[in-house]
Amino acid sequence: MIGVFDSGYGGLSVLRQIRNLMPEYDYLYLGDNARAPYGPRSFDVVYRYTLEAVEALFSRGCEIVILACNTASAKALRTIQRNDLERLTAQYAPELADQGRTLRVLGVIIPTVEGIGDLTTSRHVGVLATQGTINSGSYELEIHKLWPDIVVTGQACPMWVPLVENCEFDSPGADYFVKKRVEGILRTDPAIDTLILACTHYPLLMNKIVKYAPAGVRIVPQGDIIAQALCDYLQRHPEIDERLGKNGHAHFLTTEEPTKFYESATIFIPHTNVEVEQIQL
Ligand code: DGL
């Protein structure tokens, strides 16, 4: 299976885009809703929680895990790839380890920044994300590896995730917080012509973000980019692709109450039959 992990519900927006592009694959989604949000948490905690989640997905038969969560991608991906993948492969896929191969964990930051250099004309890019992602400096680092000339400005939007989680993304109250952050980042750098929505939840605020961004500013959500990047990755790695189930199934795991997950999942992936199982990490 393809595992998709998020701290909560937001990764469902990424899963939706992946399934739109590759409906034939089997997916296992895990939301660590009991411990969300990850945004304000420290490196150590995000790493530990993410590792537990990745292990849970590997132990249930995932060959590849997408960290749909930007905070987890920023704070845990590198360390897991470097320190834990070999051990996890030996434990959950010994036949792969015997061939000198590993299970895979992929994040969302590198695929997102890869196309940015072609989108910005002014070479000034803004990143809207959780406090954790902004503090990590990961977007700036990865953008500068590919595009050293681009000026990157980060803006934490701490109220945006709670607005979405509490179904307030369409409410008049959300306008205040969206306006404040969008206008704030454009005041810091008025030359920005491209704004990356570097958080799973922000696409749900798109209507309001567009409302407060000037017409010439391009808003870049991640779902499509991640889906296309995964599709390309599997084409480049047929040895991984051939081990993936292709029955069009999706199963959902949460660390919180399944009923609550079910209700919120319908916001992110409407019209989908969601079967939810509660697990403990
Ligand atoms: N999934 C997180 C992200 O994309 C947002 C929610 C959280 O803070 O846990 O950064």
Please give the model's pTM, rounded to 2 decimal places.
0.95
Measure 134 CA to ligand 1 centroid, in angstroms: 12
pLDDT at 275 over 90: no
C-alpha pair distances (Å), 171 with each of 75, 161, 163, 178: 31, 14, 9, 11
Q: Tell me the pLDDT tens digit for each residue of 45-75.
A: 999 999 999 999 999 999 999 999 999 999 9
Helices 11-21 and 223-236 cross at an angle (nearest 10°) of 50
Pairing type for strands 151-156 and 194-197 reads: unpaired
Number of neighbours of residue 216 by Cβ within 10 angstroms: 9
| CA 153 to mean position of chain CA atoms | 20
- Shortest-distance atom of ligand 1 to CA 108: 4
Pocket of ligand 1 (CB under 6 A): 6-8, 10, 36-39, 69-71, 130, 133, 161, 199-201
Pair of tokens at residue 254: 């949460």
Which atom from ligand 1 is nearest to the alpha carbon of 201?
A: 5
Q: Whose CA is nearest to atom 8 of ligand 1?
A: 39
Q: Which stretches does DSSP call E strand in the chain? A: 2-6, 27-31, 64-67, 104-106, 124-129, 151-156, 194-197, 218-220, 250-254, 276-278
> Which residue type does 5 have?
F
DSSP notation for 126-165: EEEE-HHHHHHTHHHHHHHHH-TT-EEEEEE-TTHHHHHH
Q: Could you tell me what percent of the chain has a pLDDT over 90?
A: 91
222 Cα to the center of ligand 1, angstroms = 13
Contacts of 211 (CB under 8 A, 6+ apart): 175, 178
Tokens representing 71? 């905070």
Query: Given its phi and psi angles, is residue 33 left (phi above 0), alpha (psi -120 to 50 degrees) or beta?
Result: alpha
CB-based contact 92:32 (threshold 8 Å): no
Residues with active-site annotation: 69, 199
CA 229 to chain centre: 13
Look at residue 25 in the predicted model and tell me its pLDDT. Answer: 98
* pLDDT band, very low/low/confident/very high, at 42 (cuts 50, 70, 90): very high
Phi, psi of 41 (to 5 degrees): -85, 160
Q: Among 49-53, 249-253, 262-266, whose mean pLDDT is lowest?
A: 262-266
Phi, psi of 35 (to 5 degrees): -115, 5
Q: From 41, 201, 204, 256, give the residue whose CB has the most ligand 1 atoms within 8 Å, as the site to mutate.
A: 201
C-alpha torsion sign, points 199, 205, 207, 213: negative
pLDDT score for 265: 85
Q: 137: CA distance to ligand 1 center in Å? A: 15
Ligand 1 mean position, distance from CA 102 (Å): 27
